[in-house]
């Protein structure tokens, strides 16, 4: 019995594809979305969950989806999850908006399958402490973290020296700094190797995504920022690597297809047979690797510095970035202004301690308010 939170999104729909391939193994008992009511109605018709939720209440509910229990409003995801009695929760809401759902899933579910990286970026120490205290596995869905998690299965108690997160470099990987500044929404959404939701695709182009993933890896694998490196790897075949103290490096490879890591988390510890495109080394011929360019991708550097600074700084980074990405997607600011908005918030919002979820939201509000001020200044 699995709840798919963020069912209408890129991760949610691919998870449901896996559910439909294994009807004897999975039943989707709870499906949630923000406002995509027609999409959610279709999914409810197909998967027949017990509970469904929409933050934005639609004008009408079609008769043929009324068989399930509906929840509407701001906290509808959490209420639907609690009512569904799901054993597993796949948390695939985008942004800090998914933090409450992750928190609630840790109260009522047996396993939490985590795609929503922003929940760890912002509430990481609290979320991992709660998962540890309640002995609830947090299974990574993000491909890099799934790769590391898979490599760690071969660890046999040995210490890990370094984590190596691979990065495609996003849609603007080979653009000059000047050209990047005025990249359009269309340019930025053309990701070279993955097909994902809008927010994460913009984050890939600015490499803020890799910064968020360093924070995610820090919390999931209890590794300091200094022991997490980023490697640009345009083909997205090596999904990430771990290095041991004897210099040995383990990598997990596969063609880019999120159903790999989603299925691994859903089936864990079993691997679900799946007709994935095999890695054809003869056809690939070579795999390329390079160092990241912090000058063209300042968001990556700012994220690393925010993690090293600690306290509320990762929350500030995330809140300002979410605000700036939203503004870019609505064409309020050029792409090149995203790092400026984030840098301003990191410089202006006072660092605080994060001891509770309320502290997370307070830091997030402060970051968004500062970002909104910068955006107003920049977009007029
Ligand atoms: P999408 O934008 O495609 O989907 C987001 C989902 O969350 C939708 O179902 C959306 O509903 C719902 N949602 C959005 N805002 C809210 C809100 N305020 N409250 C409740 N539900 C909300 O995102 P992705 O699937 O691409 O990404 C989801 C998460 O997974 C992100 O954190 C991302 O970083 C992570 N991830 C994604 C990968 C991918 O391949 N897509 C890869 C690795 C990680 P609606 O449709 O109604 O807006
Ligand atoms: Mg990733």
Per CATH, is 310-379 categorized as 1.20.140.10? no
Closest ligand by atom to 214 CA: 2
- Ligand 1 atom closest to the Cα of residue 7 is 9
Query: Is the CB of residue 342 less than 8 Å from the CB of residue 297?
Result: no
Per-residue pLDDT at 102: 98
Q: Whose CA is nearest to atom 15 of ligand 1?
A: 34
- Burial zone of 32 (CB within 10 Å; 0-12 exposed, 13-18 middle, 19+ buried): buried
DSSP conformation letters of 347-371: HHSPP----SHHHHHHHHHHHHHHH
Per-residue pLDDT at 181: 96
Contacts of 321 (CB under 8 A, 6+ apart): 203, 208, 212, 299, 338, 341, 342
Euclidean distance between CA atoms 75 and 282, whole angstroms: 51
**Angle 208-221/313-329 helices, nearest 10 degrees?**
150
Per-residue pLDDT at 380: 54
Per-residue pLDDT at 346: 98
DSSP conformation letters of 181-205: HT--HHHHT--SS----HHHHHHHH
Euclidean distance between CA atoms 202 and 205, whole angstroms: 5
Locate the domains of the chain by residue range: 2-140, 145-284, 310-379
Q: Whose CA is nearest to atom 42 of ligand 1?
A: 142
C-beta atoms surrounding 23 within 10 Å: 9
The CA–CA distances, whole Å, from 252 to 152, 164, 241, 279 equal 10, 11, 7, 11
Closest ligand by atom to 262 CA: 1
C-beta atoms surrounding 129 within 10 Å: 12
Which helix or strand (DSSP H or E) is residue 179 part of?
Answer: helix 177-181
- Ligand 1 atom closest to the Cα of residue 6 is 9
Euclidean distance between CA atoms 12 and 43, whole angstroms: 10
The position carrying tokens 């053309």 is: 190
Q: What is the pLDDT along the chain (380 residues), one digit of tens a residue?
A: 999 999 999 999 999 999 999 999 999 999 999 999 999 999 999 999 999 999 999 999 999 999 999 999 999 999 999 999 999 999 999 999 999 999 999 999 999 999 999 999 999 999 999 999 999 999 999 999 999 999 999 999 999 999 999 999 999 999 999 999 999 999 999 877 778 899 999 999 999 999 999 999 999 999 999 999 999 999 999 999 999 999 999 999 999 999 999 999 999 999 999 889 999 999 999 999 999 999 999 999 999 999 999 999 999 999 999 999 999 999 999 999 999 999 999 999 999 999 999 999 999 999 999 999 999 998 75
Q: Whose CA is nearest to atom 43 of ligand 1?
A: 142
Euclidean distance between CA atoms 114 and 140, whole angstroms: 5
pTM of the model: 0.97
Pocket test for ligand 1, best of 34, 56, 192 (most atoms within 8 A of CB): 34
CA of 317 to the centre of ligand 2 (A): 18
Euclidean distance between CA atoms 24 and 27, whole angstroms: 8
- Ligand 1 atom closest to the Cα of residue 198 is 2
Domain formed by 2-140, architecture: 3-Layer(aba) Sandwich (3.40)
Give the pairing of strands 111-114 and 138-140.
parallel
Euclidean distance between CA atoms 122 and 366, whole angstroms: 13
Per-residue pLDDT at 195: 80
HSE, CB side, 13 Å, CA atoms: give it for residue 144: 28
Q: Whose CA is nearest to atom 22 of ligand 1?
A: 34
Closest ligand by atom to 203 CA: 1
Per-residue pLDDT at 88: 98
């Amino acid at each position: 019995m699995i709840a798919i939170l963020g069912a209408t999104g890129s991760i949610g729909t691919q998870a449901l594809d896996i559910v439909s391939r294994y009807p004897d193994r999975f039943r989707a008992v709870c499906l949630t979305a923000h406002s995509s009511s027609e999409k959610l109605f279709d999914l409810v018709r197909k998967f027949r969950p017990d509970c469904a939720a929409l933050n934005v209440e639609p004008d009408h509910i079609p008769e043929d989806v009324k068989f399930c229990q509906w929840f509407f409003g701001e906290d509808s995801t959490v209420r639907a999850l609690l009512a569904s009695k799901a054993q597993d929760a796949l948390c695939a809401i985008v942004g800090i908006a998914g933090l409450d759902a992750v928190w609630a899933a840790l109260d009522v579910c047996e396993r939490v399958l985590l795609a929503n990286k922003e929940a760890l970026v912002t509430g990481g120490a609290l979320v991992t402490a709660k998962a540890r205290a309640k002995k609830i596995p947090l299974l990574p869905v993000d491909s890099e973290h799934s790769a590391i998690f898979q490599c760690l299965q071969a660890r046999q108690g040995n210490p890990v020296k370094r984590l190596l997160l691979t990065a495609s470099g996003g849609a603007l990987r080979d653009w000059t700094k000047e050209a990047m500044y005025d990249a359009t929404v269309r340019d930025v959404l053309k990701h070279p190797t993955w097909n994902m939701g809008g927010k994460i695709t913009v984050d890939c182009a600015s490499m803020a995504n890799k910064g968020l993933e360093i924070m995610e890896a820090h919390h999931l694998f209890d590794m300091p920022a200094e022991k997490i490196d980023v490697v640009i790897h345009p083909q997205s075949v090596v999904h990430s690597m771990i290095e041991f103290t004897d210099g040995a490096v383990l990598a997990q490879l596969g063609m880019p297809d999120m159903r790999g890591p989603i299925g691994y988390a859903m089936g864990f510890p079993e691997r679900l047979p799946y007709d994935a495109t095999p890695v054809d080394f003869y056809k690939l011929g070579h795999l390329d690797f390079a160092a990241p360019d912090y000058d063209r991708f300042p968001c990556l550097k700012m994220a690393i510095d925010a993690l090293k600074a600690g306290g509320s700084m990762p929350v500030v980074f995330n809140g300002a970035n979410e605000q700036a990405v939203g503004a870019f997607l609505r064409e309020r600011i050029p792409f090149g202004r995203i790092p400026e908005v984030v840098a301003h918030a990191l410089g202006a919002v006072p660092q605080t301690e994060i001891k509770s979820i309320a502290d997370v939201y307070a830091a997030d509000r402060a970051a968004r308010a500062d970002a909104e001020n910068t955006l107003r200044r920049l977009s007029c």
